[in-house]
Structure 1
Amino acid sequence: MTTVCIVGKPEVDVRFELLSRETARRALATHDLSEPWENTVAVETVSLGGAVSLLNDLNWYLVRFADAAFVREPSISEAEWLSRKLAGQVRDNDLRPEETDERLAIYGVEGGALVEPMYVTRRDGAVPEYDLRDVEETVVVRVAEGEFGG
């Protein structure tokens, strides 16, 4: 299964905002919602195309209430996420899956919440260590060229 994760803006409760709007609520109605990190909403979809389509359906809400949206496609990586833009490029065959792993945004996880990303490039196949602050764990998100650096 492909997983979609929507990361809310700091000043909003993204789950509340999505579920309080009829159109977004209907788009999410067939999915089981989870919260992998504070102020996130995650759902499983059947495919990368389904994930990108769901995010496109929710675009109006994402622009207003979300900081980011990630997609984890197991056929590309079991552990790393794709940014929404990168997932769209792969779905549209603008980029091959093996071409997605160079540019990364590494998010720290502190107190159960995602904290500021560190933008890096993979070095000799390895992910550089997150060094912006001490964190409990990290989340690696592959990003598109235009997203690199924020």
Structure 2
Amino acid sequence: MTTVCIVGKEDVDLRFELLSRETARGALATYDLSEPWANSITVETVSLGGAVSLLNDLNWYLVRFAEAAFVKDPSISTEEWLSRTLAERVRDNEIRAAETDESLAIYGVSEGQLVEPMYVTRRDGSVPEYDLRDVEGTVVVRVAAEEFGA
């Protein structure tokens, strides 16, 4: 299964905004929503294509209410997420999955929520340690070149 994660903007109740609108509610109706971090939702889809299609269906709402959208496909990585842009490029065969692991945004997890990302480049196969603040954990997101340091 491929997982989609949508992270809400700081001043927005993402779940409320998505479920209070008929079109977004309809797009999400067949999925079980979970909240891995504060003000975020995840859903399981059948494929990378299904994940990208769902994000495209929700685009109007994502622009207004979301800070970020990630996709985790086990055929690419079981631990790391792809940015929405990178997921689209892999789906469209513009980039091979094996070429997605150099540019990273590492989000800290503090008090159950994602905090500011640190943009890094993978070196010798390892991910640098998050050092922007003390955090309980991290979430690694592979990003496209133009998203690097965004």
Shorter-chain TM band: over 0.9
Residue 98 of structure 1 deviates from its aligned partner by 0.1
Gaps of 5+ in 1: none
Superposition map of 1:1-150 within 5 A: 1-150=1-150
TM-score of the pair, normalised by structure 1:
1.00
Q: How many pairs are equivalent?
A: 150
CA distance in 1, matches of 2:146, 2:49: 21
- Tell me, in whole angstroms, the C-alpha distance in 1 between the residues paired with 2:123 and 2:146: 20
Q: Distance in 1 between matches of 2:3 and 2:112?
A: 19
Contiguous gaps of at least 5 residues in structure 2: none
Cα drift, residue 61 of structure 1: 0.1
Percent identity between the two aligned chains? 80
Matched residue type, 1:142? R
Query: Deviation digits for residues 3-34 of structure 1, max 9, x if unmatched?
Result: 00000000000010000000000000000000
- Deviation of 1:140 (Å): 0.1
Q: Residues of 1 paired with 2:128 and 2:89: CA distance?
A: 24
1:69-126 Cα offsets, whole Å, 9 max, x none, are 0000000000000000000000000000000000000000000000000000001000
Q: What is the root-mean-square deviation of aligned Cα atoms in Å? A: 0.3
- Looking at structure 1, the residues matched to 146 and 47 of structure 2 have their Cα atoms a distance apart, in angstroms, of 24
Q: TM-score, normalised by structure 2?
A: 1.00
